[in-house]
Amino acid sequence: MPGPVASHFERQASACEDLGSPFTAALCRLLAERLDDGTAFGRRILDWPGDPAADALALRACGALHALARSGREPALARVYPPAPFARDAVWAAIAGARVRHDAFLAGWLDSPPQTNEVARSSFVLGAALTVAQRTGLPLTVFEIGASAGLNLAFEQYRYELGDGRAWGDAAAPLTIQSDWRGARPALDTPLRIVGRVGCDRNPLDPSSEADAARLLSYVWPDQSSRMQRLEAALRLAAASGRRVEQADAAEWVERQLASPATPGVCRFFFHTIVWQYLPDAVKLRIEAALAVAGAAATPTTPLAQFGFEIDGGAPGGGMTLTLWPGGEAMPLGRADFHGRWVEWGRA
């Protein structure tokens, strides 16, 4: 494997280890060591024309193999996937057979960037929404930028177990998210009422489509069964709700949403989780400008909020920031794990 591609696979392996997927880490290393140019799948990876890291090439490759393992079309591959323990030679033998029998399928999967919808990030959205509800005393209309399948738009319909015996939400909810909240936690007894919810994505996935659901599930790391179960439960709920994410570019959509007059007595709550890094600078500037203009016109009865959980160069995890108008001061809310396992709240 050429140096830049190999080092990208190694960096992805380390990231998978940090995020609790030893299987995907070992798979990245195995592919880096043994993949050759005997199939279109191998050739495309070895001769990748772009920046392998920017294109998330290793996750495209792992997603392709997981999709095939899940599809039922290659039982020999499925047999070496979790819950089976990772056995290097057996996994390679299964991949070697699969890549010959299903080369077009595997090579085709490399065309698209990975797409995920990480349901446990709903925990951060809940905390930010409680903070906004406490400060404004108003119900919220929720607007999600880069919503994928829209699973986090229903954040207040899930149950949360937040560590130290604390919980939020209906004990009978069909989906429970475990997320350890530490630090200056938002007040759990703040009344929270969501009166509307909409989202956009440039490539929205339909939770009721088998193909879209299979695509999302294939990018979940195979040894992370609780992520998989959360995603399956959230997909079922979203499919039953009939809610769909609108296909739109983020800037045009935010400008359009903010062009509608604000409803007195309701706070407009815009949020985005792990989206900012994908937006071109011009799109980010247009979103910030639209929010600033709407924010300048916001009043205590028509407030506006923006919450982001994004990669910010800090560690561990990503940074959470809340901006609330009138005022418009950006408040750091703390840091959180990319898969929602923990949240370290700061003082808002």
Residues lying near ligand SAM in the complex (CB under 6 A) are found at 115-118, 121, 146-148, 200-203, 249-250, 273-275, 278-279, 283
CB of 286 to ligand SAM, least distance (A): 10
Tokens at 83, concatenated = 């819950």
Do the beta carbons of residue 340 and residue 123 sit within 8 Å? yes
What is residue 17's three-state secondary structure? helix
Do the beta carbons of residue 66 and residue 222 sit within 8 Å? yes
Do the beta carbons of residue 274 and residue 124 sit within 8 Å? no
Do the beta carbons of residue 348 and residue 131 sit within 8 Å? yes
Give CA 205 to chain center in angstroms. Answer: 13
Residue 168 or 271: the one with the smaller Cβ distance to ligand SAM is: 271
Other beta carbons within 10 angstroms of residue 82's beta carbon come to 18
CB of 309 to ligand SAM, least distance (A): 8
Residue 68 or 147: the one with the smaller Cβ distance to ligand SAM is: 147
**What is the side-by-side order of every strand in the sheet holding 267-273?**
180-183, 342-345, 329-336, 318-325, 304-310, 267-273, 140-145, 194-201, 246-247
The tokens 């560590």 sit on which residue? 163
Residue 107 or 279: the one with the smaller Cβ distance to ligand SAM is: 279
CB of 302 to ligand SAM, least distance (A): 25
CB of 85 to ligand SAM, least distance (A): 29
Give me the residue whose beta carbon is nearest to ligand SAM: 146
**Cβ-count burial of 103 within 10 angstroms (0-12 exposed, 13-18 middle, 19+ buried)?**
middle
Q: Tell me how far apart the alpha carbons of residues 297 and 303 are, in angstroms, rounded to a whole number.
A: 9
Residue 39 or 148: the one with the smaller Cβ distance to ligand SAM is: 148
Q: Tell me how far apart the alpha carbons of residues 292 and 191 are, in angstroms, rounded to a whole number.
A: 27
CB of 252 to ligand SAM, least distance (A): 9
CB of 210 to ligand SAM, least distance (A): 19
CB of 119 to ligand SAM, least distance (A): 7
Residue 17 or 249: the one with the smaller Cβ distance to ligand SAM is: 249
Residue 229 or 299: the one with the smaller Cβ distance to ligand SAM is: 229
Residue 102 or 227: the one with the smaller Cβ distance to ligand SAM is: 227
Residue 54 or 104: the one with the smaller Cβ distance to ligand SAM is: 54
CB of 148 to ligand SAM, least distance (A): 4
Residue 231 or 304: the one with the smaller Cβ distance to ligand SAM is: 231
CB of 5 to ligand SAM, least distance (A): 22
> If you count them, how many residues does the chain have?
348
Q: Tell me how far apart the alpha carbons of residues 9 and 5 are, in angstroms, rounded to a whole number.
A: 6
**DSSP string for 133-201:** HHHH-S-EEEEEES-TT-GGGGGGGSEEE-STT-EES-TT-S-EEE-EEEESPPPTTS---EEEEEEEE
